[in-house]
Amino acid sequence: MSFAASLAQSIAGLNVAQQEAVNYMHGPCLVLAGAGSGKTRVITHKIGRLIQAGMQPDQVAAITFTNKAAAEMRERAKSLIGKSAKGVLICTFHALGVRLLRQDGRVLGLKPQFSILDSDDVTSILKDAGGSTDAATARQWQWAISLWKNQGLNAAQAEAQARAPEEVSLARIMARYEERLTAYQSVDFDDLISLPLKLLRDHPEVRERWQAALRHVLVDEYQDTNATQYELLKLLVGERGRFTAVGDDDQSIYGWRGATLDNLKRLPEEYPTLKVVKLEQNYRSTSAILRAANNVIGPNPKLYPKTLFSELGEGEPVRVIDCDNEEHEAERTVARIQSLRAGSGDTPHREWRDFAVLYRANHLAKPFEKALRKAQIPYKVSGGQSFFDRAEVKDLCAWLRLMVNNNDDPAFMRAITSPKRGIGHTTLGSLGTFASQYKLSLFESLLSHSLGSVVPAKTLGSLQEFGRCVNDLEYRARHTVGAEASLAFLLEWLKDIGYEQHLYDAEDSEQVAAARWTNVMDFCEWMAQRSGGQIDDTAGVTTAAETKTLLEVVQTIALLSTISERQQDQNVITLSTLHAAKGLEWPHVMLAGCVEGMLPFKMDDEHGAGSENMLLRLQEERRLMYVGITRAQRTLAVTWVRRRKKGRDYIAGVPSRFITEMALDKTTVKEDPREKLKALRAEFAKRAADQALANSGD
């Protein structure tokens, strides 16, 4: 069957609203995709439809927010349209920003091999820029500066609009921070959006080239865009508005990090010919679950009213479980999981991976972890430590970043001390003073003939040997291509610098050191695979058929957040915050901690927030509850506690107002999971006894 015929057949299998969204290609389009309504299917089919209509694959871009979503979309597009999917730019916003800056950042003064700093690097630089030794203070500065950047403000603009002396002071710290980033030829994650915006806004020739290259842009999770991302998209798609925005105003839960529903409001104003298509048929949840979701979200004001419906049947009633305290809540949750998993009659066996416990804040996970361990039930905490946050991996990334960009001083400081090579803090302090005096990077200072005047000869030899080592590695990495060669290079490098011995010397426990070395091996294999083009790069840069030099792979490393996808297939229960659960789904969901003060969260006016801000916060909390409810496919239980911990004290727990808003059938919702589990065990015992009696009669 031809590509056109196969695609037409696939599109025919979509519902009417989905077909309308896929087939509309003549102007700007907003697809309001309710939870579980098949938005990824619509996006991938529209990519195919655009190519079928005459666009080249590399003229189509699909942008989303997470590496996981981009990887899933890439795989779905490949299965639908085959080889053509390789040419489509499917990536995250940040990966798109990297592509823009690598290609055209020189007009902003950026070299193509600029570094991308992680959160720890940023904290360290801000401590220096602000003259503070307190990491917590630096992180607060980091958060405030990030919000300014997401609003499209630089340091000068932030200072101009500052209303308090503290804001003026922070804006000046931001200015010093910006100076350091420029000197280091480095950017932070917010810069990956704000700098491409500046690039397109201030340089017409670059903007016109990108607009000509991308004839249609599809944006996933549009409700999560912030002001800077909206402006960037406007400049990418041009006045003709060649875009499809896919989103759901009812799932906008990231206001605290700059996402704004104003971007949805602005679309019909700035694009009067905007086509709006609503996807209201849900393919995930039962009618009972959707009814609760629709009831909860009902009180919120609507930009575009919609009501989700399902053809999956009524299903089990949504349950409400009241508990004495957090420990009791965890026990009842585990009992419910065990009873559902045991099933009865014709109910199929359920895997551990079919269950999720969702909550408002990370600290609520602890009682559930204890209860699951006690019951010997396997679990994972979603949003735990990223592989790339491990010290040994950060060490290696620092070396690799320094290979790519010698001006990266934060990477220099980590690499030269990992492993230690007889270069202490005194020497590094002298080197830093020398570099500042002559306006050089730390690495450039190693090559200066004058350096011998400030450090002893023996130390100078160690410093220069480190510099030669980095230069040699850079040359070899530039000429290393393919998985096998890359792995051999990485293993030889680790042997040369004695990194395995460094790990064993640093740890009292050989078991811990061995585990860290295993992480290093996983990292090397992972890097090598991407050099060989065997795995799609989660930054959206490498395709399955493409090989890259090891140095090119290194340039994308800061965008990557997961070592491998195999961890997703673990047969374990998921514990997750509601924010981290967005975009995911499970057959059976327990929504925990549904009490006033937690969900909705701190609605009392502790910080003098105005009534309008309080209302907006409540609306976002309601959307968060809606997101939690719509993660469930087959069963949903909502739990609350009569008393809960606040600090060292206990306070009375009041059921969340959202439980009332769910408008559940009062005669069917209450459940005691322990009694249900007890009854199931009694039933199984009776069956066993009956079978034994029957066998004895034989």
Q: Where in the chain is the domain with CATH 1.10.10?
A: 118-183
d(CA 257, CA 253): 9
- 389 carries an active-site annotation: no
CB-based burial label for 603 (10 Å; 0-12, 13-18, 19+): middle
The string of pLDDT tens digits covering residues 152-177 is 788 999 999 888 898 999 999 999 99
Of the candidates 666, 539, 651, the residue with the CA atom closest to the CA atom of residue 90: 539
Assess contact for 36 and 283: CB atoms under 8 A.
yes
| N residues, the chain | 698
Portions of the chain given CATH number 3.40.50.300? 3-104+193-279, 293-384+568-682
pLDDT of residue 562: 39
Any idea which fold 388-560 has?
PCRA; domain 4 (1.10.486)
> For residues 55 and 214, what is the distance between their CA atoms, to the nearest angstrom?
10
Q: Are 215 and 241 in contact (CB under 8 A)?
A: no
Please write the tens of the pLDDT for every residue from 386-408.
Answer: 667 788 888 988 898 888 888 88
- pLDDT, greater one: 564 or 223: 223
Q: Are 246 and 211 in contact (CB under 8 A)?
A: no
Query: What are phi and psi for residue 268, nearest 5 degrees?
Result: -65, -25
> Which among 118, 188, 190, 221 is annotated as catalytic?
221
Does the active-site annotation cover 40? yes
Active site residue 221: yes
Known catalytic residue at 671: no
Select from 312, 248, 309 the least CA-distant residue to 281: 309
Q: 58 an active-site residue?
A: no
All CATH 1.10.486.10 domain ranges in the chain, comma separated:
388-560
- Note the CATH number of domain 293-384+568-682: 3.40.50.300
Q: CA 221 to CA 511: how far, in whole Å?
A: 43
The pLDDT tens digits of the residues spanning 572-600 come to 999 999 998 998 999 999 999 999 989 99
Phi, psi of 322 (to 5 degrees): -95, 140
What mean pLDDT is reported for the chain? 85
Give the active site residue among 18, 39, 231, 635: 39
Supply 56's token pair. Answer: 């080249």
Give the whole-angstrom CA distance, residue 64 versus residue 70: 6
Stretch (H or E) spanning 322:
strand 319-323
Q: Residues 520, 524, 529, 530: what is their CA dihedral angle, to the nearest 10 degrees?
A: 100
- Judge residue 132's burial from the number of C-beta atoms within 10 Å of its C-beta, 0-12 exposed, 13-18 middle, 19 or more buried: middle
pLDDT over 80 at 604, yes or no: no
Query: Which two three-digit tokens encode residue 285?
Result: 């949840």
Query: How far is the CA of 274 from the CAs of 165, 271, 277, 449, in angstroms?
Result: 44, 5, 10, 64
CA 431 from centroid of its chain's CA atoms: 37
- Which CATH architecture is the domain 118-183 placed in? Orthogonal Bundle (1.10)
Per-residue DSSP letters for 612-645? HHHHHHHHHHHHHHHHHHTTEEEEEEEEEESEEE
- Residue 637's Cβ-side half-sphere holds a number of Cα atoms within 13 Å equal to 25
**Contacting residues for 456 by C-beta, under 8 A, at least 6 apart:** none
Which CATH code fits 3-104+193-279? 3.40.50.300
Look at strands 632-641 and 319-323 and give their pairing. parallel
Which of 44, 59, 225, 251 does the annotation list as catalytic? Answer: 251
Residue 421 annotated in active site: no
What global pTM score does this model have? 0.79
pLDDT (0 to 100) of residue 561: 44
pLDDT band at 566 (very low <50, low <70, confident <90, very high): very low
> In angstroms, rounded to a whole number, what is the distance separating the alpha carbons of residues 523 and 529?
10
Alpha-carbon distance of 99 to 63, in angstroms, equals 13
Tell me how far CA of residue 130 lies from CA of 117, 123, 264, 371, 430, in angstroms.
18, 10, 37, 44, 21
Query: With bands split at pLDDT 50, 70 and 90, how would you rate the model's confidence at 293?
Result: very high
Instruction: Reduce the DSSP state of residue 349 to 3 states and report it.
Output: coil
- Structure token digits, residue 287: 């009618």
Beta carbons of 433 and 454 less than 8 angstroms apart = yes
DSSP code at position 583: T
Residue type, 554: V
Query: Which tens digits make up the pLDDT trace of 634-656?
Result: 999 999 999 887 777 888 889 99
Using DSSP bridges, classify how beta strands 643-646 and 649-652 pair: parallel, antiparallel or unpaired: antiparallel
- Which is the catalytic residue, given 40, 142, 244, 459? 40
| Set 41, 319, 631, 634: catalytic member | 631
